[in-house]
Structure 1
Amino acid sequence: MRVAILDDEPAELRRVEQTLQQMADAGEQPWSLHSFERGEDLLRQLRRETFDLLILDWQLPDINGLSVLHWTREHMDAPPAAIMLTSRDGESDIVQALNTGADDYVSKPFRPNELKARVAAVLRRHSQQRATAEVLSFNDLVFDDAELTVTRDGKPIVMTEREYRLAHCLFSNLGRPLSRDYLYERFWPHEEMSSSRPLDTHIYRLRNKLGLTADRGWQLLTIYGYGYRLESVTPASE
């Protein structure tokens, strides 16, 4: 679970971090918290990193949180869940944020237990929404989330559950670079993260099993020192 927190007040940023860290410590899935004091810095990371949740202050000296929220909804195919956390608590402000795409709105000063409950509810709703989109098609590949299977022209491709989830993540983020850190945090427990070989091995298998080659319309690029990016390309035969 990767969470980005945007707030230009260091004390408030630490308070949100501490609250979410309590949720992370109580859960089974590892969390990774990333804090930003400038909207520009968060936007820069959003162009190259993937997050599951954004906690956004509204008023910042450069790019405000509402503008960041609007950018994610305009430019990302699968934008992360987002909660506005701000001292602006007027009815018109709340309506504007929700209409822009915020999943929830929490007023400052926030109560830690309330924030944790709202975060949990937003993540639960997003998980349910993803579950309803059970079948996704990418050229001749069909992903079935209910069965955790991939088929090509109706024929199943034998994959492990981890291979399926890693492939689904790559295809759901076409054209976006995904860092090794993100992929390990999402798909590997801590005890398996000491080496880069498990990820490299899985990438190699996916290239072969799914035919991620230019003649089939795909290019799985290795970004040196960073991670991987899956791109859709025009098949060479065309």
Structure 2
Amino acid sequence: MRVAILDDEPAELQRVEQTLRQIPSPVEQPWSLHCFERGEDLLRQLRRETFDLLILDWQVPDITGLALLRWAREHLESPPAVIMLTSRDAESDIVTALNCGADDYVSKPFRPNELKARVTAVLRRHGLQKSTTQEVQSFNDLIFDDAELTVTRAGKPINLTEREYRLASCLFANLARPLSREYLYERFWTHEEMVSSRPLDTHIYRLRNKLGLTADRGWQLLTIYGYGYRLESVASTTDS
């Protein structure tokens, strides 16, 4: 779970980070928390990286959290979930932030248990916290079984390693959403593996072949130059 936290007070940043780390996360999607004291620094990262959630302080000296919320909603193809975390608690401020696209609004000083509950609820609404009962999902003719870590097509199993399965599951769970290389590396590889080779490109190549991620089967796995990858559903040639 890749989260960006913006607050110009280091002590508050640390408190939010410590609170989030207390929320259980799926084994395949551990917390990856990125703290920013300047809005400009976060904006720079938003232009080139993928985040699942932004927690934004409104009153930051350079670029406010509200300005970043508006920018994300206007410029990102698939904007992340956003929670405003701020000392501004007037009703007009809450209404403004929610109308600009914030998923939730938490006033400072925040209560840790409340923040954890609100973060969990927002991630669940965005499909980022899977229900423990949701183990089998279908995408066209592909059936994903999270309990067995297997993919089948027409009842026939497709031979995938565990890492290939988790990477494929992530791509399908984020259909049409651009995912940065850093986002995928943080989720599925250790730092040592990242510097030793180009494992992501190899796995993408294998998944294209093994899962048949081609237009005639209704899929397009695009390489976004200088950024990462995006899996899209397209009209298959057999449908025309």
Q: Considering the TM-score relative to the shorter chain, is it more than 0.5? A: yes
Per-residue CA deviation, residues 63-117 of structure 1 (Å, 9 max, x unaligned), is 7279659949xx85xx7554331123357876997897746x532244xxx44x4
Q: Which residue of 2 aligns with 1:87?
A: 87
Deviation at 1:198, TM superposition (A): 1.5
Length, aligned pairs only? 224
**Matches of 1:30 and 1:109, distance apart in 2:** 23
Alpha carbons 2:141, 2:154 under 8 Å: kept: yes
Q: How does 1:14-163 map to 2 (within 5 A)?
A: 14-22=10-18, 29=30, 31-35=32-36, 37=39, 41=43, 45=46, 49-58=49-58, 64=66, 68=70, 71=73, 76=78, 82-89=82-89, 102=103, 105-110=105-110, 114-115=111-112, 117-122=113-118, 126=123, 129-131=129-131, 132-163=133-164
**Matches of 1:106 and 1:170, distance apart in 2:** 31
Alpha carbons 1:56, 1:65 under 8 Å: kept: no
Letter aligned with residue 175 of structure 1: A
Letter aligned with residue 17 of structure 1: L
Alpha carbons 1:70, 1:101 under 8 Å: kept: no
Return closer, same or farther for 1:141/1:197 CA change in 2, 3 Å cut-off.
same
Choose between structure 1 and 2: higher helix proportion: 1
Q: Which residue of 1 aligns with 2:165?
A: 164
Structure 1 gap ranges (5+): none
**Matches of 1:196 and 1:24, distance apart in 2:** 32
Per-residue CA deviation, residues 122-169 of structure 1 (Å, 9 max, x unaligned), is 565647951343333221112222332222122222222211111111
Q: Which residue of 2 aligns with 1:227?
A: 228
**Matches of 2:197 and 2:231, distance apart in 1:** 19
Q: Which residue of 2 aligns with 1:211?
A: 212
**Matches of 2:168 and 2:158, distance apart in 1:** 12
Q: Which residue of 2 aligns with 1:182?
A: 183
Deviation at 1:31, TM superposition (A): 2.0
Letter aligned with residue 216 of structure 1: R
TM value normalised by structure 2: 0.70
Percent of aligned pairs sharing the same letter: 63
Letter aligned with residue 56 of structure 2: L
Alpha carbons 2:149, 2:162 under 8 Å: kept: yes
Secondary structure of 1:156 counterpart: strand
**Matches of 2:52 and 2:81, distance apart in 1:** 6
Alpha carbons 2:6, 2:13 under 8 Å: kept: no
Structure 2 gap ranges (5+): none
TM value normalised by structure 1: 0.70
